[in-house]
Amino acid sequence: MRVRELAEWLGATFEGDGEKELTDVGPLETAGSSEVAFVGSRKAAEIARSSAAGCLIVPPEWPEEYRTLIRAPEPRTAFARAVSRFHPTTELAPGIHPTAVIGKDVTVGALSFIGPHAVVSDGARIGVSAGIGAGCFVGKRVMIGDGSRLSPNVTIYDNVDIGRSVIIHSGAVIGADGFGFVEIGGRWEKFPQVGRVEIGDFVEIGANSCVDRAALGVTSIGEGTKLDNMVHVAHNCRIGRHVVVAAQTGFSGGVTVEDYAVIGGQVGIGDKARIETRAVLGSGCGVLTSKIVRSGQTVWGTPARPLREHLEQLANLARLPDLRREVAELRRRIAALERQQAGLE
């Protein structure tokens, strides 16, 4: 693809050699003369001066210089679109593989794909242009929306609703029992988990993540939310729209996360906590049971506290060795004064 063609497709302007042929995308540091890279930060701007990339996607205010550029208001977004142009999603040939097992009263939409050794149980509904990868299990009365894709070896338990254009990666388990037990006579007895899971449109769920069904009612994940790998959403959680959750984060039962929250990796959230709209939870922090993180607030640490307070406490901790030495010196001086006073008496 030529630079001019890529710029037109991105709805952007170009400078330099519009006829230069581009064959791929690449990192700014290592991109070659036929690859396109992007400048998305000040640090990247410094690297860009020495980059050998054949074309750079840069912000509109990028200074004039004699090289081939594409100017875009949001270079990262434009580059993401360019990546999809050079590396389009592999289209699956519609059809049901001969080794797949299809139950009774199953509906499979036009142009959908069901891969080798997949199992689709009774009463399931598969939308138009959906994809069920090899070795997947789809339980009874599951609904999978148009254009949604299950990577190989995904497990969907019974009575789960999945919206349109959802992506679920390998090893994910949707709809398993929540961790519910009651103590009876000194033994833990299982509390039946008879609720459901609902996943909204345009959600993406990473590899080996788990979303548990509700004990009663619904565990829900809202439209556009993105879960990284190895995220655990427990029973009766309600995750809002366009929430972003990084890897190895765990939500205890009954947690509510409101729209557009951002949650870092390895965060632990206690039972019935509430994370309000556009709150930010820093990586590794711990939110205590029933805690409320207020709208727009950024918290860090365990227990999670406002970022400024957390940084102040870290600074105080860093000063503890000096403080310890000062206290030891004061004790030494006091002891010397006491001995001197005792000698005078």
Q: Say what the pLDDT of residue 64 is.
A: 73
- List CB contacts of 84: < 8 A, sequence separation 6 or more: none
Residue 288 and residue 269: Cα distance in Å, rounded?
Answer: 6
Q: Could you say which residues of the chain have pLDDT below 50?
A: none
Q: What integer pLDDT is reported at residue 345 of this predicted model?
A: 63
Beta bridge partners of 101: 119
DSSP class of residue 199 equals E
In this predicted model, what pLDDT tens digit does every residue of 20-35 receive, in sequence order? 999 999 999 999 999 9
Q: What is the pLDDT of residue 89?
A: 78
| Cα–Cα separations (whole angstroms), residue 60 to 39, 57, 79, 142 | 11, 10, 14, 47
Q: Which residues are catalytic?
A: 235
Which of 253, 252, 152, 142 is CA-nearest to residue 199? Answer: 142
**Which of helix, strand or coil describes residue 283?**
coil
Q: Give the N- to C-terminal CA distance of the chain in Å, as an integer.
A: 97
φ, ψ of residue 344 to 5 degrees: the values are -70, -30
pTM: 0.84
DSSP-based three-state secondary structure for 181: strand
Residues 49-99 have pLDDT tens digits of: 889 999 999 999 888 777 899 999 999 999 999 999 999 877 778 999 999
**Strands 13-15 and 69-71, bridge-based pairing:** antiparallel
- CA 6-7-10 angle, to 5 degrees, is 85
DSSP 192: P
Q: For residue 318, what pLDDT is reported?
A: 86
